[in-house]
C-alpha cells in the first residue's frame, strides 16, 4: 500500500492545510498589468483599467493609498514565518468583486488569495470608503439640484419623479 503525503500541512490537527499561493506572482501580475512595474508603463491603458475596475486609475490609487496602512490590509508575517498577502492584492480583489458583483472565487485566480480573504477585504474596503468619503459624496441633493432634476424629469414626461434607474423603463 502506498502512503500518500499531504501536499499542504495545517497547524491544527485534522484540518485541511493552506494552499501554497504565489503571493509574489500575484502582486507582480497586478503591477505589470494595471499599475506599471519597474518604470515600465502598465499593459492596460486607462480605458482598459476603467473597464476592469469601473473607476479611474487616480481614484483607485487614492483609495489604495488611504487603506493600505489599515490593520487588515497591512502585509504582515504569519506565525509560521511566511509573508501574508500584499495590500494591493486585497484592494484589487475587492474592486473586482465590487465592480461586477462577481463571486470571490472568480477574483481568486488573478490575485492569488483565498475566497475568505477576498470576501473580508471587500467588506472592510466598502466600510472604509463609506466612513471616509460617505459624508462628502453620499449626501442628499440640495434644493437647487433637486429642482434641476425635477425639471429634467418633467421634460422627459415623468413629472414628480426625482430619479429612475434608466431611460427605458
Please state whether 81 falls in left (phi above 0), alpha (psi between -120 and 50) or beta: left
Q: What is the pTM of this model?
A: 0.64
Residue 138 near residue 130, CB atoms below 8 Å: yes
**Whole-number pLDDT of residue 66:** 94
The helix (H) or strand (E) run that includes residue 119 is: helix 115-137
pLDDT computed for residue 28 by the predictor: 57
Alpha-carbon distances, residue 10 vs 6, 7, 15, 86, 105 (angstroms): 10, 10, 6, 22, 22
Q: Residue ranges of the domains in the chain?
A: 23-137, 139-169
Instruction: State the helix-helix crossing angle for 87-100 and 115-137, rounded to 10 degrees.
Output: 70
Can you tell me the distance from the alpha carbon of 122 to that of 117, in angstroms, rounded to the nearest whole number?
A: 8
Q: What pLDDT, on the 0 to 100 scale, is given for residue 46?
A: 77
- How far is residue 95's CA from residue 21's CA, in Å, rounded to a whole number? 20
Query: What pLDDT score does 79 carry?
Result: 74
pLDDT for the residue numbered 136: 83
One-letter-per-residue 3-state SS of 1-46: CCCCCCCCCCCCCCCCCCCCCCHHHHHHHHHHHHHCCCCCCCCCCH
Cβ atoms < 10 Å from Cβ of 125: 23
pLDDT in tens, the chain (169 residues): 555 555 555 555 555 555 555 555 556 566 556 666 666 666 677 787 787 778 888 888 899 899 989 999 988 887 777 777 888 888 888 988 888 777 776 666 667 778 888 889 999 999 999 999 988 887 788 899 889 988 888 888 888 777 655 544 4
Instruction: Round to the nearest angstrom and report the end-to-end CA distance of the chain.
Output: 67
Amino acid at each position: 500500500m502506498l502512503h500518500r503525503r499531504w501536499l499542504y500541512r495545517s497547524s491544527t490537527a485534522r484540518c485541511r492545510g493552506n494552499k501554497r499561493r504565489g503571493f509574489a506572482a500575484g502582486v507582480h501580475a497586478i503591477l505589470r498589468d494595471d499599475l506599471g512595474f519597474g518604470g515600465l508603463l502598465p499593459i492596460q491603458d486607462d480605458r482598459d483599467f476603467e473597464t476592469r475596475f469601473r473607476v479611474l486609475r487616480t481614484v483607485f490609487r487614492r483609495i489604495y493609498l488611504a487603506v493600505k496602512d489599515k490593520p487588515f490590509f497591512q502585509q504582515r508575517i504569519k506565525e509560521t514565518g511566511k509573508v501574508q498577502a500584499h495590500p494591493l492584492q486585497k484592494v484589487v480583489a475587492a474592486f473586482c468583486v465590487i465592480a461586477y458583483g462577481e463571486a470571490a472565487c472568480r477574483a481568486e485566480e488573478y490575485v492569488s488569495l483565498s475566497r475568505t480573504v477576498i470576501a473580508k477585504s471587500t467588506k472592510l474596503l466598502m466600510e472604509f470608503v463609506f466612513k471616509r468619503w460617505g459624508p462628502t459624496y453620499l449626501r442628499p441633493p440640495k434644493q437647487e439640484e433637486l429642482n434641476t432634476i425635477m425639471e429634467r424629469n418633467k421634460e422627459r414626461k415623468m413629472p414628480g419623479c426625482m430619479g429612475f434607474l434608466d431611460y427605458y423603463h
